[in-house]
């Protein structure tokens, strides 16, 4: 490594972050960059350990450990440490399609598995990779080369989220003619409408899409395959189809009063906010959605946190975030050893901002909604909450959360956002293509493969593996593209770079 003892000499230093008081006034990104010399020191903390778990991307105890893209993290950190940023970019590009996305929204599986983090703080690998890609953009290094020759094969990619974009990128580099179909009015899928702008500025998506267009990828928006566009026609006109539509079938709540006005799915809410901002070039802030309202967010994951941060910016009167499970420990327990994913309490930007605005962490653990109460006009006015307690099922040995008798209490609520996860792909797409699905409604394939039950129809991303992370979606898209290429050409090659 550039500095063998760097992990002993330098403390972890994250990039500067705008204060809560400042950043809640707009929808701009709020994470800044360290000066180059400080970034080199952070890269110098990489230990060049004998077994780099950070790049393993394996499953341990049912959770991912290390990067599923298998980025060669020690090599990249070594190049950053030496100030060889152009080489670091080329090294990163071998395995990664879009570091600019994961550098902003990834929970950093690489850092959770970092050997330096066993007894100290992990290397800032996520920020290091973001610094590399931003350097590359600033110095004109990022290109999507147009293939010198074309194969004559046409591939349709349905869905323009991270998996669809990754598949399109690799297939285009292989020389196939690729068309990406998106049902919304803008390209990006989850990246565009499921993630708030302060977390991922949409110009970051636009600059990559522009490069892909220049390299020959065609993008078609407002094309809802299976509804507006015939799936049969698509399968006939293209040599292969990649289904990358995501797991957009939201999990609902089955409780009395669910039909009250003011109860929404989280992604629908976030999408409306982002579309309003983009349509008006950020001049029209849709404060009417949450201003002066008592908001309840149901779900403690990333989407729930994004709803909290968004509602703070829209002027909510109060925000309560409900989590069914008990409050996690602040540090690893003996039953959750490194390099497993740490099941510990994490406070994200939205919770920080809510605590700043209202004085307390918005999260309430071991709690769910028992009933929604509406007025005579059907508007939501209150929610009945109930405390939950863990109870072991003697028959199965599993622990489930059950209501505590007498713990019900009413709280004011005019807006409820359901961020309880997703159940799988939407049925109208899978039925239109006639592909088999599994018990979770994910598109079914053989283990480790991407070919569906229908000839020349492939799948990738959340539609294939279920609700997951952007980094997993990119990995799936790249691998699916290689499967398509092998099927069309009769032989397999490594991913083009």
What's the mean pLDDT when you consider all of the chain? Answer: 96
Taking each continuous run of H as one helix and of E as one strand, the counts in the chain are: 17, 18
Question: Is 90 exceeded by the pLDDT of residue 334?
Answer: yes
CA 197 to centroid of chain Cα atoms: 13
What tokens appear for 485 in the block?
A: 């290429």
pLDDT of residue 106: 96
> 431, 437, 419, 397: which is closest to 319 by C-alpha?
419
pLDDT of residue 253: 95
Q: Residues 104-155: pLDDT tens digits?
A: 999 999 999 999 999 999 999 999 999 999 999 999 999 998 999 999 999 9
> 139, 111, 137, 119: which is closest to 14 by C-alpha?
111
Say which residues have a Cβ less than 8 Å from residue 53's Cβ, sequence separation at least 6: 65, 66, 113, 114, 115, 339
Inter-CA distances, 175 with 153, 172, 268, 479, Å: 8, 5, 37, 16
d(CA 241, CA 238): 7
pLDDT of residue 414: 98
Dihedral pair phi/psi, residue 494, rounded to 5°: -65, 165
DSSP structural state of residue 384: E
> 62, 105, 75, 87: which is closest to 195 by C-alpha?
105
pLDDT of residue 209: 98
Give the lowest-confidence range in 53-62, 379-388, 448-457: 53-62
Assess contact for 206 and 200: CB atoms under 8 A: no
Cα(first)–Cα(last) distance of the chain, in Å?
25
Mean pLDDT of 279-297: 98
Structural domains of the chain ordered from first start: 6-138 (1.10.1060.10), 154-248+423-489 (3.50.50.60), 252-420 (3.50.50.60)
Kind plus residue range of the DSSP H or E element containing 250: strand 249-250
CB contact burial 409-433 (16+ within 10 A = b; e otherwise): eeeebbbbbbbbebbbbbeebbebb
d(CA 131, CA 260): 46
Dihedral (CA of 459, 465, 466, 469) sign: negative
d(CA 462, CA 442): 8
Question: Is 70 exceeded by the pLDDT of residue 421?
Answer: yes
Dihedral pair phi/psi, residue 111, rounded to 5°: -70, -35
pLDDT of residue 494: 63
> 479, 487, 466: which is closest to 245 by C-alpha?
466
Question: Is 90 exceeded by the pLDDT of residue 199?
Answer: yes
d(CA 367, CA 444): 34
Alpha helices by DSSP H, 73-222: 73-81, 85-93, 99-105, 109-112, 125-138, 162-173, 202-214
SS3 122: coil
pLDDT of residue 496: 52
Q: Is residue 434 left, alpha or beta, with left meaning phi > 0 and alpha meaning psi from -120 to 50?
A: left
Quick one: pLDDT band at residue 394, thresholds 50, 70, 90? confident
Assess contact for 153 and 178: CB atoms under 8 A: no
């Amino acid at each position: 490594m550039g500095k063998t003892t760097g992990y002993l000499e330098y403390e972890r230093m994250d990039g500067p972050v705008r204060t809560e008081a400042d950043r809640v006034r707009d929808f701009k990104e709020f994470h800044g960059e360290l000066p180059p010399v400080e970034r080199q020191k952070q890269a110098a903390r990489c230990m060049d350990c004998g077994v780099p778990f950070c790049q393993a991307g394996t499953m341990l105890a049912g959770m991912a450990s290390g990067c599923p893209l298998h980025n060669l993290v020690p090599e990249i950190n070594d190049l950053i440490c030496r100030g060889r940023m152009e080489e670091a970019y080329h090294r990163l590009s071998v395995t990664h399609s879009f570091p600019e996305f994961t550098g902003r929204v990834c929970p950093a599986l690489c850092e959770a598995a970092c050997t330096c983090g066993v007894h100290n703080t992990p290397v800032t690998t996520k920020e290091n990779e973001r610094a590399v890609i931003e350097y590359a953009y600033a110095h004109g290094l990022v290109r999507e080369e147009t293939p010198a020759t074309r194969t004559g094969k046409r591939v349709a990619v349905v869905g323009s989220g991270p998996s669809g974009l990754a598949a399109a990128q690799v297939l285009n580099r292989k020389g196939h003619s690729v068309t990406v179909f998106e049902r919304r009015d803008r390209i990006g899928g989850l990246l565009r409408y499921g993630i708030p702008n302060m977390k991922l500025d949409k110009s970051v998506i636009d600059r990559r899409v522009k490069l892909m267009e220049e390299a020959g990828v065609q993008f078609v928006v407002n094309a809802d395959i299976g509804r507006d566009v015939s799936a049969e026609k698509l399968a006939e006109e293209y040599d292969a189809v990649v289904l990358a539509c995501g797991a957009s079938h939201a999990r609902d709540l089955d409780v009395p009063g669910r039909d009250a006005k003011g109860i929404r799915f989280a992604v629908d809410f976030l999408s409306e906010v982002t579309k309003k901002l983009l349509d008006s070039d950020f001049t029209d802030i849709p404060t009417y959605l949450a201003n002066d309202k008592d908001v309840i967010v149901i779900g403690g994951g990333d989407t729930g946190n994004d709803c909290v941060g968004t509602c703070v910016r829209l002027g909510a009167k109060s925000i309560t975030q409900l989590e069914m499970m008990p409050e996690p420990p602040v540090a690893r327990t003996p039953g959750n050893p490194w390099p497993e994913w740490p099941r510990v309490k994490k406070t994200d930007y939205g919770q920080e901002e809510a605590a700043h605005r209202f004085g307390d962490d918005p999260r309430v653990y071991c709690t769910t909604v028992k009933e929604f109460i509406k007025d005579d006009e059907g508007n939501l006015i209150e929610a009945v909450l109930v405390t939950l307690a863990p109870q072991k099922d003697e028959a199965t040995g599993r622990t489930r959360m059950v209501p505590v008798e007498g713990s019900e209490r009413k709280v004011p609520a005019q807006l409820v956002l359901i961020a309880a996860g997703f159940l799988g792909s939407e049925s109208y797409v899978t039925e239109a293509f006639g592909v088999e699905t599994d018990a979770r409604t994910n598109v079914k394939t053989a283990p480790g493969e991407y070919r569906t039950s229908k000839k020349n129809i492939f799948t990738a991303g959340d539609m294939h593996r279920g609700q997951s992370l952007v980094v997993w979606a990119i990995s799936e898209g790249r691998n699916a593209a290689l499967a398509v290429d092998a099927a069309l050409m009769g032989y397999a090659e490594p991913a083009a770079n």
